[in-house]
Amino acid sequence: MNICKTHENASKCSVNTMECFMVLSTQAQKISIATLCGLFGTLCIFENSVVLYLIFSSPRTRRKPSYLFISSLALADILASIIFVCSFVNFHVFNETDFSKEMFLLQLGGVNTSFSASLSSLLLTALDRYISISRPSEYKLLMTRKRAWIALGVLWVTCATIASLPLLGWNCCMLDSTCSELFPFVDDNYLSSWICFILVLLGCIIYAYAHVLWRAHQHVAYMEKQQVQVGKQNTRMRMDVMLAKTLVMVLTVLVVCWSPVLVLMIYSIFARLSNAMRKVFAFCSTLCLLNSMVNPIIYALRSKELYSSLRMVFSQFRRQLKASEESPEAESTHKSSMIET
C-alpha cells in the first residue's frame, strides 16, 4: 500500500514516510538505476580526475584563471558524482531508511552544493571568456589569479550556504509547511527558490555566451575579410574563440541534461505528480551524472593544451610500459650470455 497517496501524507515528517519517495517498484528498475549510476559515476570520477591532473601538472595551465575555473568545475563534478551515487543508490536501490532527517538533509545539501558549484563554475568560465573577448587588451589586468581564487571562494561558500538552508531550519518539518513531492523534508518554497537560483545562473551563462559567440562571429568574419594573420593578438583571439566554442558545447550538454529535471521540479510545485512521473524524475536525475561525465571529454577533444598534455602522458605511459616489457627479456638474454660464457 502506498502511504503517500495524498499531498497531505507527503507532508508528514516521520522518517518512515521516506518510503513513499522510493518509487522504483521492480528489480529491473533498480538494476537499471544502479547500472547507470555506477557507469556514469565511475567514468565521471576518472575523467575529471585526469582533467585535474593535467591542469595542475603543467605550470602553464595551472597559472591561467580559465583553467582554475575549469578545475573548479572538475572538482565539483567529482564531489557530485561521489555524493550523488552513494546517496541515490542507497536510497532508491537498497531502500535504506536507517538514518535521521538531519543526515538525509546533509546528503541532499552535499549534492546541491556540488551541482550548484558545477553550474557556478561554468558561469565564472563564461564571464572569463566574456572579458577576454570583449576587453582583450585589459584582460590580464582584470582577471588575475588572485581575483580568480577570490571568485572561486565566494562561489563555493555561496553554494554551500544556499544548499545547507534546509538543514539549518528551512524545511517543512520545522516550519510545518507543505513538503515537496520529490524530496523528503524539503519545503516547497525552498525548492522554488533553489530553482530560481539555478535559472538565474543559466540565464547569466546564456547571456555571456551569446555575447561571446557574437564577438567570435565578428572576429571570424574579419579574419575572412582580411585573409591575413596579424601577430600574437590574432593567435590569442583564435584560441579564445576556440575555448568559447568548447564551453558553449559544455553549456549545451548542461541544458539538455538538466532541462528534464528542472521541468519536473517546476511542475511538482504547481501540480501533483503521479508515481510514473516520479519514476521518470528518478531516471532523469542520472542525466546530471551524464553531464558531469561528458564535460571532461569535451575539454580533452577541444582544448589544445589539455589534449597535448594528455598525449604526452599517454606517450610516457607507453614508453614506461614498453621498457618494463623489454626489461625481463634483456635480463634473460644477459643471463643466457653469461651461462654460455
Mind listing the pLDDT tens digit for each residue in 265-318? 999 998 888 888 999 999 999 998 898 888 888 776 677 788 888 888 888 888
Q: How many domains does the chain have?
A: 1
The residues, any chain, with a CB within 8 Å of residue 31's CB and separated by 6 or more, are none
Checking if the pLDDT of 163 tops 90, the result is: yes
DSSP track, 269-325: HHSPPPHHHHHHHHHHHHHHHHHHHHHHHHHHHH-HHHHHHHHHHHHHHHHHHHHHH
Residue 3 lies in a domain: no
CB 305 within 8 A of CB 58: yes
Residue 337 lies in a domain: no
Residue 248 lies in a domain: yes
Grid coordinates representing 14 are 516521520
Residue 121 lies in a domain: yes
Q: pTM for this one?
A: 0.83
3-state secondary structure at position 203: helix
**CATH number reported for the structural domain that contains residue 196 in this entry:** 1.20.1070.10
Residue 314 lies in a domain: no
Report which listed range, 167-176, 212-221, 233-242, 320-329, is most confident: 167-176
Residue 300 exposed, middle or buried by CB count within 10 Å (0-12, 13-18, 19+) = middle
Residue 80 lies in a domain: yes
Question: How confident is the model over 101-155, as pLDDT tens digits?
Answer: 889 899 999 999 999 999 899 889 888 888 888 888 888 888 899 999 999 999 9
Residue 324 lies in a domain: no
Residue 73 lies in a domain: yes
What's the rounded Cα separation, in Å, for the pair 20 and 2? 6
Question: How confident is the model over 231-259, as pLDDT tens digits?
Answer: 555 555 565 566 667 667 777 887 888 89
What's the rounded Cα separation, in Å, for the pair 135 and 204? 18
What domain range includes position 47? 24-227+234-307
Question: How confident is the model over 2-29, as pLDDT tens digits?
Answer: 445 444 444 456 555 677 788 888 899 8
